[in-house]
Structure 1
């Protein structure tokens, strides 16, 4: 049923959820217990700048996630499941653990659930704060008690995941979407969204927008339509650039306001839907400064396993810092592009791609702004880009 619904992973890659479940080795008899244990792991290590959909979901409707876990575990015949939560969000951890205790008390978890003969143990695990553990194999290493670093694939987690056993790793929103599909049916789910990206999803609007927050909408909606719901860009200002899927996705401009926000539409526009974290920036924002802050994040969060990412992100920060604070030369821009090219597509995991994508796209769309930095550094007054500067604006904090 999940496979027929066309539900795609909500963690960034958009891989079909049902297909991922089907990769788990099947026994000859559907009633036979697997010869080795199967595991289900929910990736709740939400850490990327701009991405903020999973934490509110777990705070507001934790039992929806737990219900999805039970259904998914039953489907892949797993008797142990884990929710791996970013360690800094103590309120989410408390909320989830309370909800899990309530589910055990109600008989929805544990031994012989509601007399069905199905057993499921669910553990809420707190991570240690490393962004790299959002990568599924690094998450599994962390869950096993080791330093979180990406694994070489193959073998993939469906073959040798947690404790070298078949494992499904799904995003919070992916699993939380399952109960409504089971309850309302495939046709209901596919009546929303697009043919290749059916259903609904959460879009996170932040930055220079009148009413930031989570907006549940069908896949394929446009930023123009979402901004209408969110009250538009803050009063007296206009859109300059935006990210469709968090800081790791290539920037887009006002020319892309009517791009369908589904996997195919955003891909055709030269970016990625990612986590659907729509960061909105108006004309007061320095592109170079924004890209520098993101690159500093990726350099700090690099696990250091591979040379392109470990060394490349360091030098990207140095080059961007020089341009932003001291100025530079056109040769620095050439070096910036060259170092970025040495990172993107050449790192062990996608962190290097995430660090380089905003740089490549910002050089493409805002090269003149980089050139304006060459003589004396940044020409922008960064105090104007804070949300507090907007009269009557929603005080949600600065964007720098």
Structure 2
């Protein structure tokens, strides 16, 4: 009986898979193709045919073992050739292992992008004809943990960050069968060259002076020294922790939050002139001009009952809201936490798919992966966040 010999390229195998129908006949054809292909690869490896005597022979045939290979037409049961030295490995499996790794990487990317584990399972089944359980996706995402932890604790000594921006993002976490709010403390550093980096994050039970102090100590241990300016909202615990942890730093009160708080204390009706004056005041970048404008505003409105509370708050908080004009080279992007607000929105956009994290570890995993992704995009960007004059 004549033995049929043929050679088939990997690209042709992939083409067969792409065009074959998902029935038993297609599976049998592919099984035959793969089995013969592996036989030819073993012969090439041994450098000798069946029963052939050759000085070039490197080993001997050693039977077969069965192995499953999942393709787009279903799972094939293949007879994998073996050699005595145990070093032969068919290229077909190497190819599909690469595909498998690409699939797993895509699943992780979907997860980080905010796709739920249930939807990831559905997408994989639709694309590959192979179902994966939600528990498998969850176990796969655990592979992110060491990567997130390494990034979360990386050294920061080699770069100086004269400007630090901090804020808290609240999330929901299930704990002991209860749904509790957790505070995710986040810090962004801006270099003297105008580039930005996410320095770190930490999930804690609340926002307080002690939790902020704990987070700041974590940053300091990793190499963050006292910045010239720390930008944040006016949470009392946060302010206290800034003064405690960074004794040589000035505090810049976020102007966006400050203006919002001021205007919330005055009636909406018949206050257009006052509101315009307040907004105009915060457009000044020269501290002396800003002080003069503030004084003029107080003279005009401070004695009017409906503006008294707002004027008092403005007078008390004015200097803290204009520290960037003294310390921060008067750049508008240092007068608020808008950068962090946008970052929080990105995290929130992906976190809202989950809504309630099953535990603190899963929250740390997803938020960390999202922040890592954004951080790497920032580092890879050729645009600076701040262009100094």
Q: TM-score by structure 1 length?
A: 0.28
Choose between structure 1 and 2: higher helix proportion.
2
Q: TM-score by structure 2 length?
A: 0.29
Choose between structure 1 and 2: higher strand proportion.
2
